[in-house]
């Protein structure tokens, strides 16, 4: 199947909302449009779905390889749907020196998945980040942007349990 036919088939599989299409069309002729568009796509979906990447390439009139070049070069962009609770463990200097690596290992052990993976129930995903900007609270992790600081390995079980209960309660 040619790239164009594959692209057309993928584009019909997922319908982008009108406001996202409007944004892409607004940025279509501007310099730096690809990164801005991909940021908005990820903001909307929480990641960049494959089908949408095809559509972005079509709308912007650029090769799909260029879209994936940007997606895979920048650590910020996600190609897989994250868990409902996105856990980011800080491994910046202060956090790393105060046990950030231990927090990460404990999370992996308790959740049964590694970095950049999602638990089978879809509740949790783990990522390692370079700095959360809360060095005075080191070591820290954030869950969907909520920072938990001054942590010990023993705190991980309670944090996971809190969000697991929240996820079950929300259905």
Q: Is 114 helix (H, G, I), strand (E, B) or coil?
A: coil
Do 17 and 56 lie in a common domain?
yes
Q: What percent of the chain has pLDDT over 70?
A: 92
The 10s digit of each residue's pLDDT in 112-127 is 999 999 999 999 999 9
Query: 54-101: per-residue pLDDT in tens?
Result: 999 999 999 999 999 999 999 889 999 999 999 999 999 999 999 999
115 and 40 co-located in one domain: no
Number of domains in the chain: 2
- Whether residues 58 and 97 share a domain: the answer is no
Q: Mark which of 45, 73, 101 sits at the end of a domain.
A: 73
- pLDDT at residue number 171: 72
Asked whether residue 125 falls in the same domain as residue 65, the answer is no
The pLDDT of residue 23 is 97
- The residues facing 124 across adjacent strands are 85
Work out the average pLDDT over 135-160: 98
Q: Is 139 found in the same domain as 91?
A: yes
Partnered with residue 129 across adjacent β-strands are 90
**How many Å is the maximal CA-CA distance in the chain?**
54
63 and 139 fall within a common domain: no
What pLDDT is recorded for position 13?
59
Tokens of 16: 């982008």
For residues 90 and 104, give the distance between their C-alpha atoms in angstroms, rounded to a whole number.
9
Domain of 95? Answer: 85-170
pTM for the full model?
Answer: 0.80
Domain final position from 73, 107, 135: 73
CA dist 111 and 82 (Å) reads 14
Summary mean pLDDT of the chain: 92
pLDDT for res 76: 86
36 and 111, same domain (yes or no): no
Residue 79 belongs to a domain: no
- Judge contact between 47 and 78, C-beta under 8 A: yes
In sequence order, the β-bridge partners of residue 78 are: none
């Amino acid at each position: 199947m040619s790239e164009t036919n594959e692209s057309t088939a993928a584009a019909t599989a997922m319908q982008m909302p009108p406001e996202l299409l409007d944004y892409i069309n607004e940025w279509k002729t501007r310099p730096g449009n690809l990164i801005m568009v991909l940021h908005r796509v990820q903001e909307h979906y929480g990641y960049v779905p494959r089908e949408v990447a095809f559509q972005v390439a079509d709308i912007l009139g650029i090769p799909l390889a260029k879209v994936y070049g940007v997606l895979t070069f920048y650590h910020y962009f996600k190609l897989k749907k994250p868990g409902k609770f996105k856990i980011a463990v800080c491994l910046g200097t202060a956090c790393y020196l105060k046990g950030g690596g231990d927090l990460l290992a404990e999370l992996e052990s308790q959740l049964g998945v590694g970095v950049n993976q999602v638990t089978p129930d879809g509740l949790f995903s783990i990522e390692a980040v370079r700095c959360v900007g809360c060095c005075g609270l080191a070591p820290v992790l954030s869950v969907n942007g909520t920072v938990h600081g001054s942590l010990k390995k023993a705190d991980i079980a309670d944090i996971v349990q809190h969000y697991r209960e929240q996820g079950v309660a929300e259905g």
